[in-house]
Chain A
Amino acid sequence: MSILVDKNTRLLIQGITGRNGTFHGQQMIEYGTNVVGGVTPGKGGTTHIGVPVYNTVREAMAEAIPNTTIIYVPAPFAADSIMEAADAGIPLIVCITEGIPVLDMVKVYEFVKDHGARLIGPNCPGLITPGQAKVGIMPGYIHAPGRVGLVSKSGTLTYEAVNALTQAGMGQSTAVGIGGDPIIGSSFVDILELFEQDPDTDSVVMIGEIGGDAELRAADYIKSSMTKPVVAYIAGRTAPADRRMGHAGAIISGGDDTAAAKMAALSKAGAKVAESPTQIPSLLG
Chain B
Amino acid sequence: MWLGAIDRAIMLNIPMRRVVSVSFIEEDTLKIHEYQAKEVLARYHIPVQEGHVATSPEEAEAIAQRIGKMVVVKAQVHAGGRGKAGGVKLAQTAQEARGKAAAILGMQIKGITVKKVLVTVAADIAHEYYIGVVLDRASKRVMLIGSAEGGVEIEETAKTNPEKIIRIAADPALGLGDYQARDLAFAMQIPAPLQRDFIKIVHGLYNAFIATDASLAEINPLVITNDNKLEALDAKIVLDDNALYRHPDLEAYRDLNEEEAAEITAREANLSYVKLDGNIGCMVNGAGLAMSTMDTIKLYGGEPANFLDVGGSADAERVTNALRIILSDPHVKAILFNIFGGIVRCDEVAKGIIIGLKEVQTEVPLVIRLVGTNQAEGRRILSEANLIALDNMDDAVKKVVEVANSR
Taking the complex as formed, is A82 at the interface, i.e. its CB lies under 8 A from any CB of chain B?
no
Name the segment of B1-9, B21-29, B179-187, B348-356 touching the other chain.
B21-29
Those of B224-247 within 8 Å (CB) of chain A: 236, 238, 240, 242-243, 245-246
Shortest CB-to-CB span from B140 to chain A, Å, is: 5
In the bound complex, CA of A270 to CA of B62 (Å) = 65
Instruction: Decide if B53 is an interface residue (CB 8 Å cutoff).
Output: no
Bound form: Cα–Cα A242–B17 in Å: 6
How far is B135's CA from A107's CA once the two chains are assembled, in angstroms?
12
Contact with A along B248-285 (1 / 0, CB 8 A): 00000000000000000000000000101000000011
Q: Which residue of A lies closest to B80 (CB)?
A: A244
Cβ 8 A contact of A247, one of B162, B172, B220: B220
A265, chain B: closest CB distance, angstroms: 15
> B158 to A254, Cβ gap below 8 A?
yes
Instruction: Tell whether A139 is near chain B: CB-to-CB under 8 Å.
Output: yes
Q: Is the CB of B23 within 8 A of A243?
A: yes
Task: For B340, give its contact among A160, A252, A276, A278 (CB under 8 Å).
Answer: A160
Contacts of A247 in B (CB 8 A): 14, 130, 132, 154-155, 158, 218, 220
Which of these binds chain A: B64-72, B190-198, B286-294?
Answer: B286-294
Give chain B residues whose Cβ lies under 8 Å from the Cβ of A240. 20, 274, 276
Question: Given the known A-B contacts A102-B215, A159-B340, A247-B14, are A252 and B291 also in contact in the complex, defined by CB atoms under 8 Å?
Answer: no
Q: Closest residue of chain A to B296, judged by CB?
A: A276
Question: Which residues from 126 to 155 on chain A have a C-beta closer than 8 Å to any C-beta of chain B?
Answer: 137-139, 142, 152-155
Residues 75 to 125 of chain A near chain B (Cβ within 8 Å): 75-76, 99-107, 109-110, 125
Tell me, in angstroms, the Cα distance from A264 to B97 when the chains sit together.
Answer: 50
Chain A: CB-nearest residue to B159: A254
Contact A249 B216 (CB under 8 A): yes
- Does B236 contact A142, Cβ atoms closer than 8 Å? no
The contact size tier of chain B is 35 or more
**Does chain B have a CB within 8 A of A156?**
yes
A250 located at the interface, meaning its Cβ lies under 8 Å from any Cβ of chain B in the complex: yes
Q: A106-B172, A181-B26, A211-B26 are in contact. Are A252 and B288 (CB under 8 A)?
A: no
Q: Which B residue sits closest to A254, measured CB to CB?
A: B158
Query: In angstroms, how far is the closest chain B Cβ from the Cβ of A237?
Result: 5
A 203-223 to B, binary, CB cutoff 8 A, 1 in contact else 0? 000010111111001000000
Answer whether A109 and B140 are a contact pair too, CB < 8 Å, given A160-B393, A243-B25, A251-B165. Answer: yes
Describe B's contact surface by its main secondary structure. Answer: mixed
Report the minimum CB–CB distance from B80 to chain A (whole Å). Answer: 9
The residue in B15, B155, B307 that gathers the most chain A C-beta atoms within 10 A of its C-beta is: B155
Query: In the complex, A277 Cα to B284 Cα: how many Å?
Result: 15
Q: Give the complex CA separation of A38 and B220 in angstroms.
A: 50
Chain A 229-256 per-residue mask, 1 if CB under 8 angstroms from chain B, else 0:
0000101111110111111111111100
Is A169 in contact with chain B by the CB < 8 A criterion? no
CB pair A154 B240 closer than 8 Å: no
Q: Is the CB of A106 within 8 A of B135?
A: yes
B51 at the interface (CB under 8 A from A): no
Those of B122-142 within 8 Å (CB) of chain A: 130, 132-138, 140-142
| B165 surroundings in chain A (CB, below 8 A) | 251
Q: Which one of A110, A142, A244 contacts B372 once the chains associate, using CB atoms below 8 Å?
A: A142
In the complex, what residues of A have CB within 8 A of residue B172's CB? 106-107, 109-110
A248 contacts B132, C-beta separation under 8 Å:
yes
At the interface, yes or no: B85 with Cβ under 8 Å from chain A? Answer: no
CA gap between A100 and B28 in the complex, in Å? 11
In the bound complex, how far is the Cα of B140 from the Cα of A102, in angstroms? 10
> A80 vs B133: C-alpha distance in the bound complex, in angstroms?
25
* In contact, B216 and A246 (Cβ under 8 angstroms): yes
Q: Are A160 and B26 in contact (CB under 8 A)?
A: no
CB proximity to A under 8 Å, residues B204-220: 210, 213, 215-216, 218, 220
Q: Complex formed: what's the CA distance from A233 to B287 in Å?
A: 15
| Distance A7 CA – B246 CA, assembled complex (angstroms) | 41
Known contacts: A248-B132, A252-B145. The answer to whether A155 contacts B137 by CB under 8 A is: no
Asked if A182 CB lies within 8 Å of chain B CBs, one says yes
Please, which residue of chain B has its CB at the minimum distance from the CB of A177? B288
* Cβ contact of B288, chosen from A103, A209, A244, cutoff 8 A: A209
Interface residues of A in 178-211 (CB under 8 A from B): 180-183, 207, 209-211
Give Cα A181–Cα B27 distance, bound, in whole angstroms.
Answer: 7
Residue in B238, B242, B297 whose CB lies within 8 Å of A75: B242
A244 and B155 CA atoms in complex are apart in Å by: 12
* A66 vs chain B, min Cβ distance (A): 23
The answer to whether the Cβ of A163 comes within 8 Å of any Cβ in the partner chain is yes
Q: With A240-B274, A246-B238, A247-B130 as given contacts, are A76 and B245 in contact (CB-CB < 8 Å)?
A: yes
Any A CB within 8 A of the CB of B173: yes
Q: Say whether B243 contacts A251, CB under 8 Å.
A: no
Asked whether, in the complex, the Cβ of B216 is within 8 Å of the Cβ of A102, the reply is: no
Are B216 and A248 neighbours in the complex by a CB distance under 8 Å? yes
A158 within 8 A of B: yes
7 example contacts (A-B, Cβ-Cβ < 8 A) are as follows A106-B140, A107-B173, A160-B292, A180-B288, A183-B135, A238-B295, A240-B274
Which of A's residues lie within 8 Å of B, judged by CB? 24, 75-76, 99-107, 109-110, 125, 137-139, 142, 152-160, 163, 180-183, 207, 209-214, 217, 233, 235-240, 242-254, 259, 275-278
Beyond A105-B140, A137-B342, A235-B295, 15 additional pairs, beta carbon < 8 A = A101-B246, A155-B289, A163-B371, A209-B25, A209-B287, A210-B24, A211-B27, A235-B292, A238-B295, A239-B291, A251-B158, A251-B165, A253-B138, A254-B162, A277-B292
